Chains A and B, each alone.
Chain A
Amino acid sequence: MKNNRFVYTILTPVFICLLVFKVLPILIGFGISLFDYNPLMEENTFVGFDNFKALLGDEVFLASLKNTVVFVVVTVTLNVTFSLLIAQFISMMRSNKMRSLMRAIFFMPVVAPLAASSMVWKSMYANKYGLFNNILNFFGLPGQNWLGDKNWVMPAIILFSIWADIGYNIIIFSAGIDGIPGEFTEAAAIDGAGPFRRFFSVTLPLLARTTAFIIPMTLISHFQMFAQFEIMTRSAGSTAGGPNNSGMVLTLEIYKEAFKYKNMGYASAIAVVLFAVIMIVTVVSRRTNRVDWEY
């Protein structure tokens, strides 16, 4: 009983914090989505689900939804695949110092603020004097308008996002790989399994717990990415989103509707949709990757 009182006392502030700063804003956000809400107005009209109905006919919203899904699917797939391969490659290195150095190198972009590295990459993508076009020109190839051509905007941002975020998953996968008892791979090697067979038949299955953690976490964080879209798709003096909204994603659309056009009810409706999408994807992902064994 005495112990319970202690636990309640310790947890109460945390739960209050969660309630006030996490749960309540979500509920209020859902409430606002039912209004034609402009906080400057004295009265805001209750419109029910009209904001949600309007979304179905909104070209910009549909483009943002499509772009968000494409970005998340491509980036998360590439991120998880490459981070796993790189982590495996690093774990195969014999020198501890070399392993630490490689991990540090890959982790460095994660430490840099996303907004700052977005600015740097934006200058590297510049039409004129940009690093990528200079390299292409060096080989006699024509430069591309990376952030100004609707066909290149998303690939350019995906490449940057993978560079910026891959280090985190490499560290997690590395820890997972290091945690697999050596006996399993040694036994497989004695049975004649080569490096590829050992990786696919031993390492990969035994990393299922790590993968079950990494996939939903990466999905959630990528659905919420904002800074690189806001910075890299903004032309001088203009608003972000890229040509033909090719770089418009849900987070950017929420920001634009809420703070540029002051349609906070509509922006909240988009936020509710994003919340629902993340919720569904996370639940499906967790169920698919469920692991009920241990070693």
Chain B
Amino acid sequence: MKKKTLALALALLMLLSMLAGCTQPQNEGPSKDPAPQNSTSGGGDSEEEITLHYWTHVETPWNVSNDKMVEAFQKEYPNIKIEVEAYPYDEFEQKVQTSLLSKSGGADIYELWGGWAYEFAPTGVFSPVPDDLLQDLLDDCYDPVLGAFEHEGKYYGVPMEFNAEYGGMLVNKPYFEEHNLAYPTTWDEMIDLATEHSVSKNGIFSMRGFDFISFDSVPYTWLAMILSSGGSYLDGDTFNFDTPIAKETLQKLVDYVKVNKVTSIDGLAGSDLENHHWLFLGETLMAPRGMWTVPVGEEEYDLTYDKEFSYVSIPFYGSEKRWAAETGWGLAVNANSDYTDAAWKFISFFMRPENLRQANIDRGQIPPRKSVAHDPAFVEAVPYAQPILDVLDGASWIGPINTDVLKEAICNMFADIVQNDTPIDDAIAKLNQDIQ
């Protein structure tokens, strides 16, 4: 009898805990503080205390910069408290997506990658950028930084950076000095140099002359080759790589791997390290990468910039300095937030040129605003930005697509050609089909 009573009690306990688990907590939505609200869009103008939740990803320089920004904002708006919540990058996209799906939980302010923003923008999960801020940004920002936030004439996020994966390259400075070499100024010089100094045995490289093999570098190098040659891969809003220039440049890239042997395909097939890591390990001579890799070399590898590695301009393949860029990291406001006005107030504060400049300096990013990019104070603080700043005007938005899909399709195609000798025509036909 005792046993039965105990079992019965346990069963009831299980049932109750299950029901409790299935019940949604009442205060799960963004910023549902007990404080009374004056308006549905909560501007934070009155003296009411409100709390905004700001989601970002874990990256030390970013987190320090965010803390500084929040502290400065709260001095100006003492009644608006901002709680920054940082999540590991690997789970950040899922976290953002899941919270937006639930429509009731999540943050008031999201840090957002442009590639995700492109898919979220049409769904109505984000609040549109207020007109005054939008006009300011349209007047002062480069085109690529806004592209993915736009949907049917409205913008659903603002850019924190200009994501440039082309325009500059990391170089192995000690190797150049040791061999008395000058940094290349033309494309042909660069390939000759890379070919001459690449060393491999049985396909295993001890020195990659020009390592353009990574998930970002292959697509951006190819697109820049097409654009700088006067070509295009866009017919209006449709991607089309079935052009003579696209085929010619693709063949060149394949030859660099198979004939010139300046690098291996490992970066797309099997390797756990991206191309900039091999350079920091001293096993690569040149690697086209975004400027964000410079702090990686300094912090993760404890290398000294301009001594153990450097960042210089990459020569263009064609005669024009044209290249493609995607919309990088930005900020967006949850349309379901109770405090959208207050959230936009924080973002407007963030986007003020002097605040944005400091954030870009702290994070090692290229500024999305022209006024900040050309501000001497920025150039002085981030000298390695110069190679990219020099070519910013030649950048165009990559186009209307989830860039992860495009990059994956291009990388798969490239690996397929290199590993399986797939004819260029067939590979491009498949690429066009994959991205439609």
B39: Cβ under 8 A from any A Cβ: no
Whether B268 and A238, one on each chain, are in contact in the complex, defined by CB atoms closer than 8 angstroms, is yes
Q: Mark A69-87, 1 if CB is under 8 A from B, else 0.
A: 0000000000000000000
Q: Which residue of A lies closest to B265 (CB)?
A: A148
A235: Cβ under 8 A from any B Cβ: yes
B4: Cβ under 8 A from any A Cβ: yes
Whether A236 and B269, one on each chain, are in contact in the complex, defined by CB atoms closer than 8 angstroms, is no
Q: Kindly count the residue-residue contacts between A and B in the assembled complex, taking CB atoms under 8 Å apart.
A: 114
> Distance (Å) between the CB of A161 and the closest chain B CB?
18
Q: Given A243-B419, A260-B404, check contact A20 B124 (CB 8 Å).
A: no
A181: Cβ under 8 A from any B Cβ: no
A103 to B406, CA, bound (A): 49
Residues of A within 8 A of B94 (CB): 259
> Distance (Å) between the CB of A163 and the closest chain B CB?
19
A262 to B270, CA, bound (A): 26
A1: Cβ under 8 A from any B Cβ: no
From A11-19, A106-114, A189-197, A268-276, the one touching the partner chain is A11-19
Q: Which residue of B lies closest to A3 (CB)?
A: B4
Interface residues of B in 222-278 (CB under 8 A from A): 265-274, 277
Q: Which residue of B lies closest to A38 (CB)?
A: B123
Residues of A within 8 A of B120 (CB): 40
From A26-34, A138-146, A221-229, the one touching the partner chain is A138-146
Q: Mark B59-78, 1 if CB is under 8 A from A, else 0.
A: 00000000000000000000
Residues of B within 8 A of A150 (CB): 419-420
A127: Cβ under 8 A from any B Cβ: yes
A201: Cβ under 8 A from any B Cβ: no
Whether B15 and A147, one on each chain, are in contact in the complex, defined by CB atoms closer than 8 angstroms, is no
A218 to B18, CA, bound (A): 30
Interface residues of B in 100-151 (CB under 8 A from A): 100-101, 119-120, 123-125
Interface centre among A42, A237, A262 (most CB of B within 10 A): A237
> Distance (Å) between the CB of B264 and the closest chain A CB?
8
A88 to B154, CA, bound (A): 70
Whether B215 and A235, one on each chain, are in contact in the complex, defined by CB atoms closer than 8 angstroms, is yes
Q: Mark A231-243, 1 if CB is under 8 A from B, else 0.
A: 0000111110011
Q: Which applies to chain A's interface (DSSP): helix, strand, loop or mixed?
A: loop
Whether B266 and A10, one on each chain, are in contact in the complex, defined by CB atoms closer than 8 angstroms, is no
> Distance (Å) between the CB of A117 and the closest chain B CB?
15
Whether B405 and A243, one on each chain, are in contact in the complex, defined by CB atoms closer than 8 angstroms, is no
A22: Cβ under 8 A from any B Cβ: no
Residues of A within 8 A of B11 (CB): 9-10, 12-13
Q: Which residue of B lies closest to A261 (CB)?
A: B405
Q: Which residue of B lies closest to A11 (CB)?
A: B11
A42 to B267, CA, bound (A): 40
Q: Mark B1-27, 1 if CB is under 8 A from A, else 0.
A: 000100110010011001000100000
Q: Mark A115-145, 1 if CB is under 8 A from B, else 0.
A: 0000000110111100001000000001101
A186: Cβ under 8 A from any B Cβ: no
Of A42, A126, A145, the residue contacting B272 (CB under 8 A) is A126
Q: Could you give 19 example pairs across A and B, Cβ below 8 Å?
A: A6-B4, A6-B7, A13-B11, A38-B123, A40-B100, A40-B119, A40-B120, A40-B123, A127-B271, A148-B266, A149-B270, A150-B419, A235-B266, A235-B270, A236-B215, A236-B271, A236-B272, A237-B215, A243-B419
A-B interface, 4 closest residue pairs, ranked by CB to CB distance from nearest: A148-B270, A148-B269, A40-B123, A237-B215
